[in-house]
Amino acid sequence: MIAAADRSGPVARLAERFERGLTSPICLTWELTYACNLACVHCLSSSGRRDPAELSTAECKQVIDTLQRMQVFYVNIGGGEPTVRRDFWELLDYATGHQVGVKFSTNGTRIDAAAARRLAASDYVDVQVSLDGATAEVNDAVRGVGAHQAAICAMQHLAAAGFTGFKLSVVVTRHNVSQLDELKALADTYGAQLRLTRLRPSGRGADTWHQLHPTAAQQRQLYDWLAARGEQVLTGDSFFHLAPYGGPLPGLGLCGAGRVVCLIDPVGDVYACPFTIHPEFLAGNVRQPGGFEQVWRDSPLFTRLRQPQSGGACTSCRFYGSCRGGCMAAKFFTGLPLDGPDPECAQGHGQAALRLAGPAAAPRPAVDHSHRGPLRARAAPGRRARTGPVPVIIGSRPSPASLPGSAAPPARPCDANPLAGFGSEASKDQHYVLDAAHTQRKG
């Protein structure tokens, strides 16, 4: 076993410099839209419906110009589902043409063979396919029926297009933590790299975190699994709070909020990190005079986050040097003081703190774009179109015989887009519901 250690060596000294902030972010997340064609129960941004005040194409290009000037080498684009924006590909090309590399997260529903070939052709684009279970049973319970198949199809298309090293991105939950080996094998099958990240109680995750986050015993199991694999598995530095189990995992080992990372949301609001969409952590907006550059360099919130932080109740703990008190967002959205233990503290102090704070202490997420009803899917084959909401079903193709004029059945499930017939309509619909009436008319 690796001895529990305080941070030391060149990485640690550098991390201390980073806590005082950087000229520009190292890692910027930009959620392009709150619109999503899925409704995952743990969505950190409570996505679903497009916000009418979403940044326009021209405004997005201005942001990219700023990022180029600031030498933000790449952005993590997310959402919502970023590919539902009609200008998604235009913005992707604009960014990569302006020395801003793009890694974007997708649920895979729109990554068909042509999209995969286009992505594989660019050195400056990386793709992260989200999947939260090795099996449809585990994944779809969180991400919706058909989501597993959609992600697998996307990975097949990417692999077939020769895109190696894309990311299979998994949020670790109580139900998939026993599938880590299978998930790794799945990533290997498609020439992808596995990326595991922490479930945060942000967005709709605030409602599901208590049921979904790994138990203390599972956290330990996760730590050991990660420690044994080193840099083979990416983590976005999201498990640094587990360092007391046996020493630091690869990464900087610090909360980068407002220091090395931040979030630009679909309406241009700048938050300290992707998991803190709440007025408490709102630093400014890219539309204000001075734009993103001024928000990053001068906002009072970020200036405060770059000052030395108090360890509070954690200061006396001998592991404080390695976990630094954990994740600010996890504490905030579970109602814990920011200068106390993380709710998943490896020493067990989080559970005690949660009991002490009680459920009423947790602030409600303040920004919510969730679909107001269940997602509407097309009517099941052979039935008449329904106008009322039905549970979302993606990936289930009608039998060829039931579709007038349809071609031969696909040789494999992934020869057809699992959302075939939904896409163009959905992208025009402000609320991105999968509209049964539209697709029926099309047929």
Partner 1 sequence: MSTDAPVSPRAGTPGSPAPGFDLDRPWRLDDRVAVRPEPFGALLYHFGTRRLSFLTDTTLLAVLRALGEHPTARSACMAAGIGDGALPAYQRALGTLARSQMIARRAGP
Question: Residues interacting with partner 1, by CB under 8 A?
Answer: 10-11, 13-14, 17, 20, 22-24, 26-27, 71, 73-74, 99, 101, 103, 123-124, 126, 231, 234, 251-252
Nearer Cβ to partner 1 (137/231): 231
Nearer Cβ to partner 1 (256/418): 256
Angle of helix 147-160 versus helix 113-120 axis, rounded to 10 = 50
Q: How far is CA 436 from CA 80, 272, 301, 386, 403, in A?
A: 21, 39, 45, 6, 15
What is the nearest approach in angstroms of partner 1 to the Cβ of residue 76? 9
d(CA 334, CA 45): 16
Spatial CA neighbour of 15 closest among 231, 234, 256: 256
Nearer Cβ to partner 1 (214/253): 253
Nearer Cβ to partner 1 (21/82): 21
C-beta of residue 422 within 8 angstroms of C-beta of residue 439: yes
Nearer Cβ to partner 1 (68/221): 68
DSSP character for 406? -
Nearer Cβ to partner 1 (175/198): 198
What is the nearest approach in angstroms of partner 1 to the Cβ of residue 82? 18
What is the nearest approach in angstroms of partner 1 to the Cβ of residue 261? 11
Q: Residue 197: in which H helix or E strand, if any?
A: strand 193-198
What is the nearest approach in angstroms of partner 1 to the Cβ of residue 350? 28
d(CA 292, CA 284): 8
Spatial CA neighbour of 201 closest among 334, 108, 103: 334
What is the nearest approach in angstroms of partner 1 to the Cβ of residue 124? 6
Nearer Cβ to partner 1 (78/251): 251
Amino acid identity of residue 153, one-letter, is C
Helix ranges (DSSP H) in 339-413: 349-357
Spatial CA neighbour of 402 closest among 382, 421, 380: 382
Nearer Cβ to partner 1 (24/109): 24
C-beta of residue 244 within 8 angstroms of C-beta of residue 206: no
Phi and psi based region of residue 395 (left: phi greater than 0; alpha: psi -120 to 50; beta: remaining)? left
d(CA 364, CA 367): 9
